[in-house]
Amino acid sequence: MRNCSATKRFVISLVAFVAVLPLLGCGGERRQNTVTVSGVGTVRAQPDTINMTISLRHIARTTREAQHEVTGMVRRALEILHGAGVEERNIGTAFLRFSPEYEWGPMGRIFLGQRAEQIITFSIGDIGADGERASAIIDQLIGINGIELQGMHFSVGDPTGLQQQARELAFGEARDKARQFAGLSGQRIVRTLHIFEEGPMMLSPFPVQARWQRTAAMDVQVEAAGSTVLPAGEMEISARISVEFLMR
């Protein structure tokens, strides 16, 4: 009789345990109702920094002669940048190359000389406060024979505050979506469980792949038209997140 009674108690306990299992998660916690939604926040800002890349090159009889000429061009460019208040930490060499230069003719490849090239990158800040600063620097750089502008793009020097605003907007959008879904299912949002951020990014304006070389015609055009005009437009800084909310 005792064995029979013990067996009944074991069966009853097993049935009760199985009945509770659907309510428990793998960790022994009660299964939760959740909703995962995405949110995007975008803020606009006026760029305050312009980033430029210039190439200084020269072809001569020997590599030493070509490099000597390029070094003089680089020094002249640095004088212009330093004179305009561009800090040394915002100027750097991105590329340095020495190579033979050839030209194809009727009889095949013709050696023209040795080529030296140095690429300099630099950034100019506070362009919003002084709209003519970048234009004046470019107008002076054009005076260096053999210079080439390889690219430029605008940016925001310190986007931290703008990124925070974008995150707030993104989270607000995600929360509104979650509340709507919870209401449609007859529940309400209790708390936030997880937040994943894809990362803020600047969308526009896109980098300008500008290329020019100084020519006599350009000198005439600049003299006739006045200073170089550089419309900056606006930057869009976005945050993209996904959020998991607990519902009850």
The pLDDT, as a whole number, for residue 121 is: 97
Q: Which residue has the higher pLDDT, 222 or 244?
A: 244
Q: Range with the lowest mean pLDDT among 187-191, 218-222, 223-227?
A: 218-222
User: Which percentage of the chain shows pLDDT scores above 70?
Assistant: 75
Look over the chain and give the mean of its residue pLDDT values, rounded to a whole number.
Answer: 82
Q: What domains, with CATH codes, occur in the chain?
A: 1-30 (no CATH), 32-47+158-209+232-248 (3.30.110.170), 48-155 (3.30.70.2970)
Give CA–CA dist 243/195, Å, rounded: 5
pLDDT score at 131: 65
CA distance 41 to 184: 24
Backbone angles phi, psi at 38, to 5 degrees: -110, 160
pLDDT for 202-219, tens place per residue? 666 544 444 444 444 444
pLDDT for residue 30: 54
Residue 13 pLDDT: 40
Angle of CA points 138, 140, 145, to nearest 5°: 100
DSSP 71-103: HHHHHHHHHHHHHTT--GGGEEEEEEEEEEEEE
Task: State the pLDDT at residue 20.
Answer: 37
Give bridge partners of residue 51 from the DSSP assignment.
123, 153
Asked if residues 120 and 53 have their Cβ atoms less than 8 Å apart, the reply is yes
Residue 244 scores a pLDDT above 90: yes
Using one digit for the tens of pLDDT, what is the confidence trace for 143-177?
Answer: 999 899 998 888 888 889 999 999 999 999 999 99
Tens-digit pLDDT profile for residues 103-147:
988 888 999 999 999 999 999 988 876 668 888 899 999 999 989
Residues forming beta bridges with residue 236, ordered by sequence position: 44
Lowest mean pLDDT among 12-21, 170-179, 233-242: 12-21
